[in-house]
Amino acid sequence: MGTTRAVDGGTPSGRPDPSAPLGVFDSGLGGLTVVRALRATCPHEDIIYLGDTARVPYGTRSPETVIRYALGCAGVLTSRGVKAIVVACNTVSAVALEMLRVELDLPVLGVILPGARAAVAASRGKPVGILGTAGTIASGAYLRAVASLSTRTEVIAQAAPLLVPLAEEGWTEGEVPRLVARRYLEPVIARGARCVLLGCTHYPLLRGVIEEQGAALAGEPVLVVDSAAAIADETSSFLAERGQANDAEHEGRLDLLVTDVPKSFEIAAARFLGEATKGAEQIDL
């Protein structure tokens, strides 16, 4: 990540302790795909993840409410001494990122710009398809992000809300997810997109079926870009450039916080993370 990207994370007034954990939050389970990517890319970093399961989903809330919820989540993570916050929620990244950067005295990174950057690079000037929740698509955040990077890249945005419950229920294979993915991909592929950005952190669990149905519709491979992997790569570069990466000898630890239903969260978390979890602590916002 070059110097032109430094503004992506804001500018803190002090220098956090490199051994401090990263804070990550989302409205529920989806952000765990970001955690999974971070643990693969930044294995030496301790991570505190907060899932606001008592108030999920954020996508149906007003911008004012999303901002209030986001500030509450960020406040919890800040109180636990994190050195930076990764917003693993497309809705918050779309409407509350700048407010978080104004209010917090530490770097804040969101998923939208890194995902858009990866998609623009992968598309090589051809149309980019974006699948996201209704709220994220309606916000126009990805369209603005792509336009800020390339005025020549056409964006074909498609709301794909049914992919979220499929991911949460573990329905990632079989006829139902194939039919749903095909329905959402048809207008995107028909307009020429051969690169599809997963604009929701739930969607990486369905990457296989999205690639399969995209290729079937296009008659050629369709490149699928994962915004979770993109933000993990940029977080790694961000920390390295600022000398804030943890000791390479340290084995990163993951702590999970939730605002409701910790037991059911733990069960689903193992599927999203691809590894067993030690349990989630319930907190009150």
Catalytic residues: 89, 200
Spatial contact of 10 and 34, defined as CB atoms under 8 Å apart: no
CA distances from 192 to 32, 41, 63, 218, 230 (A): 31, 32, 32, 8, 23
**Residue 211 neighbours by CB distance under 10 Å:** 16
Spatial contact of 87 and 66, defined as CB atoms under 8 Å apart: no
Which residues, including other chains, have CB under 8 Å from residue 62's CB and lie 6 or more apart?
Answer: none
Tokens of 54: 């008592």
Which residue pairs from 1-4 have beta carbons closer than 8 angstroms and sit at least 24 positions apart in sequence? Answer: 1/233, 1/234, 1/237, 1/238, 1/241
Measured at the alpha carbon of residue 104, what is the angle toward residues 101 and 109, in degrees to the nearest 5? 45
CA distance 95 to 66: 7
Query: What strands lie across the sheet with 155-159, from one edge to the other?
Result: 155-159, 128-132, 195-198, 223-226
Q: Return the amino acid letter for 279.
A: G
- Residue position matching structure tokens 């998923």: 111
Q: Could you tell me which of 76, 117, 133 has the C-alpha nearest to residue 256?
A: 76
Which residues, including other chains, have CB under 8 Å from residue 196's CB and lie 6 or more apart?
Answer: 128, 129, 130, 131, 185, 188, 210, 214, 222, 223, 224, 225
